[in-house]
Amino acid sequence: MKTRLRGFDYVNMVVLVLVSVICIYPLWNILAVSLSDGIYAAASKVYLIPKGLNVETYKYVLHNPRLGVSQGLWNSFAYTVVGTLVAVILTFLTAYPLSKKRLVGRKTIMLIFVFTFVFEAGIIPNFIVYKSLGLVNSFWVMIIPNAINTFLLIIMRSFLDALPEELEESAYIDGANDLQTMWKIYFPLARPAIATVCVFYSVAIWNQYLVPAIYLQKQSLKPITVVLYNLIVSGSKDGTSLESIKVHGVQLLPQNLQAAAIFLSVAPILIVYPFAQKYFTKGMLIGSVKG
Amino acid sequence: MHTALKGKSPGARSNVWHKMWRSRLLYLILLPGLIHMLLFKLLPLFGLVIAFEDYNVIKGGINSIIDSKWVGFAHFEKFLGDAYFWKLLKNTLLLAFFNLLFVFPIPIIFALLVNEVRFRKVQRFVQTVTFFPYFISSAVAVSILYTFLSPQGGLVNMALQGLGVEPIFFMAEPGWFRPLYIMLNVWQLFGYSSIIYLAAMTNIDPHLYEAAELDGATRFGKMFHITLPSIAGTIVIMFILAIGQIMTVDLDKILMMYNPSIYDTADVIQSYVYRQAFATKGFPNYSYGAAVGLMQSVVAFILVISANRASKKFSDSQIF
High-pLDDT (> 70) share of chain A, %: 93
CB contact under 8 A, B135 and A125: no
**A171, B25 contact by CB (below 8 A):** no
Give the span between the Cα atoms of A117 and B320, in whole angstroms.
11
Buried b (16+ CB within 10 A) or exposed e, B196-223: bbbbbbeeeeeeeeeeebeeebeeeebe
* pLDDT average, residue stretch B175-191: 94
Q: Which residue has the higher pLDDT, A78 or A163?
A: A78
Residues of A in contact with B131 (CB under 8 A): 277, 280
Q: What is residue B70's predicted lDDT score, i.e. its pLDDT?
A: 85
Give the span between the Cα atoms of B25 and A231, in whole angstroms.
50
Q: What is residue A241's predicted lDDT score, i.e. its pLDDT?
A: 55
Smallest Cα–Cα separation from B32: which of A112, A114, A102, A92?
A: A92
What are the tens digits of pLDDT across the range A140-155?
999 999 999 998 999 9
Say yes or no to pLDDT of B1 above 50.
Answer: no
Interface test with A, best of B67, B132, B295 (most A CBs within 10 A): B132
What single string gives the DSSP state of each residue in chain A? ---S-HHHHHHHHHHHHHHHHHHHHHHHHHHHHHTS-HHHHHTT--SSS-SS--SHHHHHHHH-TTTTHHHHHHHHHHHHHHHHHHHHHHHHHHHHHHT-TTSTTHHHHHHHHHHHHHS---HHHHHHHHHHTT-TT-GGGGTSTTS--HHHHHHHHHHHHHS-THHHHHHHHTT--HHHHIIIIIHHHTHHHHHHHHHHHHHHHHH--HHHHHH--SGGG--HHHHHHIIIIIHHHHS--PPPEEETTEEE-HHHHHHHHHHHHHHHHHHHHHHHHHHHHHHHHHHHHH-
Which residues share a beta bridge with A250?
A247
The top-scoring range by mean pLDDT among A87-101, A229-243, B161-175, B277-291 is: A87-101
Q: What is residue B59's predicted lDDT score, i.e. its pLDDT?
A: 66
Q: In Å, how far is A132's CA from the nearest CA of chain B?
A: 5
* pLDDT average, residue stretch B16-44: 92
Mean pLDDT of chain B: 85
Nearest CA in chain A to B308: A118
Say yes or no to pLDDT of A171 above 50.
Answer: yes
Give the span between the Cα atoms of B55 and B58, in whole angstroms.
9
Rounded to a whole number of angstroms, the CA Rg of chain A reads 24
Give the span between the Cα atoms of A74 and A79, in whole angstroms.
9
Smallest Cα–Cα separation from B174: which of B84, B273, B259?
A: B259
Q: What is residue A251's predicted lDDT score, i.e. its pLDDT?
A: 80
Q: Which residue has the higher pLDDT, A111 or A45?
A: A111
3-class DSSP state of B273: helix
What single string gives the DSSP state of each residue in A24-50? HHHHHHHHHHHTS-HHHHHTT--SSS-
Interface test with A, best of B136, B197, B218, B253 (most A CBs within 10 A): B136
* pTM of the shown model: 0.89
Q: In Å, how far is A248's CA from the nearest CA of chain B?
A: 24
Residues of B in contact with A42 (CB under 8 A): 153
Q: What is residue A5's predicted lDDT score, i.e. its pLDDT?
A: 57
What are the tens digits of pLDDT across the range B86-113?
999 899 999 999 999 999 999 999 999 9
Nearest CA in chain A to B319: A291
**B154, B170 contact by CB (below 8 A):** no
Q: What is the CATH number assigned to the segment(s) B73-134+185-312?
A: 1.10.3720.10
Nearest CA in chain A to B285: A124
What are the tens digits of pLDDT across the range B199-250?
889 888 989 988 998 888 888 888 889 999 999 888 888 888 888 788 888 8
Furthest-apart CA pair in chain A: how many Å? 75
**B276, B285 contact by CB (below 8 A):** yes
By CB atoms closer than 10 A (0-12, 13-18, 19+), residue A174 is exposed
3-class DSSP state of B217: coil
Say yes or no to pLDDT of A93 above 90.
Answer: yes
* pLDDT average, residue stretch A62-88: 94
φ/ψ bin of A104: left (φ > 0), alpha (ψ from -120 to 50), beta (otherwise): beta
Mean pLDDT of chain A: 87
What are the tens digits of pLDDT across the range B285-308?
888 888 988 988 888 888 888 887
How many pairs of residues across A and B have Cβ atoms under 8 Å apart? Answer: 286
CB contact under 8 A, B125 and A127: no
Q: In Å, how far is A81's CA from the nearest CA of chain B?
A: 17
Say yes or no to pLDDT of B320 above 70.
Answer: no
| Residue type at A233 in one-letter notation | V
Say yes or no to pLDDT of A51 above 70.
Answer: yes
Q: In Å, how far is B83's CA from the nearest CA of chain A?
A: 23
Nearest CA in chain A to B193: A284
What are the residue boundaries of the structural domains of chain B, listed by start? 73-134+185-312
**A245-247 and A250-252 beta bridge pairing:** antiparallel
Say yes or no to pLDDT of A234 above 60.
Answer: yes
Q: What is residue A32's predicted lDDT score, i.e. its pLDDT?
A: 92
Rounded to a whole number of angstroms, the CA Rg of chain B reads 26
Q: Shortest CB distance from A15 goes to which of B113, B278, B304?
A: B113
* pLDDT average, residue stretch B54-81: 79
Give the span between the Cα atoms of B159 and B318, in whole angstroms.
48
Say yes or no to pLDDT of A238 above 60.
Answer: no
Give the span between the Cα atoms of A101 and A120, in whole angstroms.
28
